[in-house]
Structures are given as structure tokens and as C-alpha cells.
A and B are shown apart, each in its own frame.
Chain A
Amino acid sequence: ELKVEQNPLFLSMQEGKNYTIYCNYSTTSDRLYWYRQDPGKSLESLFVLLSNGAVKQEGRLMASLDTKARLSTLHITAAVHDLSATYFCAVDMNNAGNMLTFGGGTRLMVKP
């Protein structure tokens, strides 16, 4: 059974600081996804990582994938309040692009 674990589960940080969210998974997969969810809203796709060593950046967020370590990171640079949300990683169970298993989410609060 594929397990996807995120840590921390909750993160409170000051504006301007840097931090990293970790996503570990338990089985071989070359595909990993990051999503953002605002309270009471749907999930928005942030990054699609499809190979070992993949790195994607958008604004203050950067995601990377190490398939050998079964680890993905979401790095936040100089956080701003607008980044406050819950972030989910998801792993493709069979590398076929049709079944994702989600982590439990990391709730991020950025304080002024």
C-alpha cells in the first residue's frame, strides 16, 4: 500500500522567512504533484514533477523531486501572507498518470 507522508502538518512562519515542506512516499514512483487549497475552496495544481531531479519554480515556491530517496520538497522563499493555504503532495501509484495518492496536507500560516 502506498503511503504519502507530509511534514510538518502545520507550519506557522513569519513573512520574509524561508522554509521547506517535505513529502515522503513509500513506493517507487517517478511522478509527483503539488496542490494548493485555500480554506473552503477547491485544489489548484501548482507543480507537476515527472522525473528524478525535476525542479520547478513559480514565484516564491520551488518544488523538487528525488525519486531515489522517495522525497519531494516544496521550498518557500521569503514568505508572504498570500501563501497561507494548505499544500498537498500527491504521488502517482502506478506511473501511468491515472491514480494519485495524496498526503495529509501541510497547513501553512504566514504571519505579518
Chain B
Amino acid sequence: DAGITQSPRHKVTETGTPVTLRCHQTENHRYMYWYRQDPGHGLRLIHYSYGVKDTDKGEVSDGYSVSRSKTEDFLLTLESATSSQTSVYFCAISGVVGTGANTGELFFGEGSRLTVL
């Protein structure tokens, strides 16, 4: 199994509070992603990173920011949480270490369930 750890795994917070979710990998993969999963929507990409300090927006980036100061850590921040951000958040990684082709296959963390009241 890919070494991906998400924290916290469960969080309940109130509207307007800041929330940070952490994704930590031990695989030294280049690409890291944050997805959210909601019933009827499958998984939707929030932000992704293609290297340290290199990030870009995904399909549903409004209300979210990310940071990647080290290869192994990718943080997702909700500056002011809203009820519409209640969801399950998945971190994923892809890529290869060193040379070789990136097949794009994603490896997922266990998910973080966030409830915003």
C-alpha cells in the first residue's frame, strides 16, 4: 500500500472557522492532489501540486487554498468553513521516483470526513 496518511480523519467544526487538513506521503511522489467526494458527484478535484511550492487549481477550488513546503506534505486549508464544504476529502498521489513514465495512476489516502455545522 502507498504510504499516505491523512489527518485528521474526522472533524466537526462550525461555520466561519478555519480548518486545515494534512496529507503526508512517504513515497516521494511528485504529484499530490486533494479531491472531495459528495453523493451524486463522484470525486472532484480541488487543487493539486506538481512539486514543492508548485500548485494549481482544480475544478472546485473556490474557498480552498493549499500549500506544499516539503515533498511529503500537502495541506488543504478552508479559510472560513461553510456548510457546503461538508464532505469527505481524499488526498492522492501519483508519479514515479526518479526516471520513468508517470502512468497517472492515483493512490489514495483513507479520507478525512469534515462536517461544518
Contacts and interface: CB of A to CB of B under 8 A. Distances in A.
B42 A97 contact: no
A92 B106 CA distance: 11
Contacts of A98: 31, 48, 50, 94-95, 102, 104
Given A42-B90, A42-B111, A43-B90, A101 B45 contact: yes
Nearest to B102: A97
B22 interface: no
The DSSP consensus for interface residues of chain A is strand
B42 A103 contact: yes
Given A31-B104, A42-B110, A99 B48 contact: yes
Interface residues of B, number: 26
Given A42-B111, A88-B42, A105-B42, A100 B90 contact: no
Interface residues of A, number: 24
B21 to A, nearest CB: 15
B90 A48 contact: no
A97 B101 contact: yes
Contacts of B109: 42
B34 interface: no
Contact of B43 (A44, A99, A102): A102
Interface string A70-112: 0000000000000000001010100011111111110000000
B54 to A, nearest CB: 11
B42 A43 contact: no
7 contacts: A42-B109, A45-B107, A96-B102, A99-B58, A100-B106, A102-B35, A104-B40
Interface of B: 31, 35, 40-45, 48, 50, 58-59, 90, 94-95, 101-111
Interface of A: 4, 31, 33, 35, 41-45, 48, 50, 88, 90, 92, 96-105
